[in-house]
Amino acid sequence: MTTRARREREKRERRRSILQAARELFFENGFHHATVDSVAERAEVSKGTVYLYFVSKETLLAHLLLEGLEALVAELASACAEAAALSADQQLRHLARAYFDFFDRDPQYFPFLMAMDRGKFQESVPAELYEEILQSSLEGLTLAVGVVRRGVDDGVFACPDPEKAACMFWAALNGVLQLMEHPLRREMVGVDKKALYESSVDTLIKGLEGPHADG
């Protein structure tokens, strides 16, 4: 029946709009300062409806995170695939660019990924969901490890421990994104975000190419 299909669609629609409202508000005011009331209001549903779709405020955040991470991983994987034919260092550049593009398009995710660390979060979110998030957040790293490993095999990179090298790479890029996240800090620093990011990629890759890089 069409009715049923439409119902399903409306439900998904509503779920999306709640998630979207939460994304906006959590980002604008920070998770703690956003209220479930305001989420409901912006999503144009009642407060009860929010709880119909998500068991708690924290769970709302968790879904936001998971959704974001899954999208990110998908984009990273596709970037890797596209660059499969290129040299390892070019592939790594592709990966880094995809990473950048993602957070450039959706800068909100960054602070959220960090918010997840705090204690109370784990308690208020179904364990299963939490597990999924951690899994997802590892997948990006796994991709990078693969590329570095290939680079080592191909003689492009000279690092004894590809896993550590990938971590380093990943961490450094996160650092740049985080640093440039805050408008004030961006202004203070007086360097362009994208330019800084690309310099970092170049420097790191250059650092990985020579011998004894990560003893």
Applying CB under 7 A, the residues found at the interface with DNA are: 3, 7, 10-11, 14, 33-37, 45-49, 51-53, 56-58, 124
Q: Please provide the DSSP assignment of 66-84 as one string.
A: HHHHHHHHHHHHHHHHHTT
What DSSP element (H or E) covers 209? helix 193-209
Angle between helix 193-209 and 162-181 (nearest 10): 160
Nearest approach in angstroms of CB 12 to DNA is 10
Q: Closest Cα partner for 182 from 107, 105, 102?
A: 107
Which is closer to its own copies, CB of 38 or CB of 137? Answer: 137
Residue 3 interface partner, choices its own copies, DNA, none, CB cut-off 5-8 Å depending on type: DNA
Residue 119 interface partner, choices DNA, its own copies, none, CB cut-off 5-8 Å depending on type: its own copies
CA dist 51 and 60 (Å) reads 9
- Give, in order, the Cα–Cα distances in Å from 168 to each of 14, 125, 132, 144, 187: 40, 30, 23, 10, 26
Residue 171 interface partner, choices its own copies, DNA, none, CB cut-off 5-8 Å depending on type: its own copies
CA dist 47 and 90 (Å) reads 49
Nearest approach in angstroms of CB 22 to its own copies is 16
Which is closer to its own copies, CB of 42 or CB of 164? Answer: 164
Which is closer to its own copies, CB of 71 or CB of 158? Answer: 158
CA dist 111 and 139 (Å) reads 19
Which is closer to its own copies, CB of 85 or CB of 127? Answer: 127
Amino acid at 183: P
Which is closer to its own copies, CB of 13 or CB of 28? Answer: 28
Which is closer to DNA, CB of 51 or CB of 174? Answer: 51
Nearest approach in angstroms of CB 47 to its own copies is 13
Nearest approach in angstroms of CB 3 to DNA is 4
Residue 45 interface partner, choices its own copies, DNA, none, CB cut-off 5-8 Å depending on type: DNA
CA dist 196 and 181 (Å) reads 12
Nearest approach in angstroms of CB 38 to DNA is 8
Nearest approach in angstroms of CB 138 to its own copies is 6
Contact by Cβ (8 Å): 76, 137: no
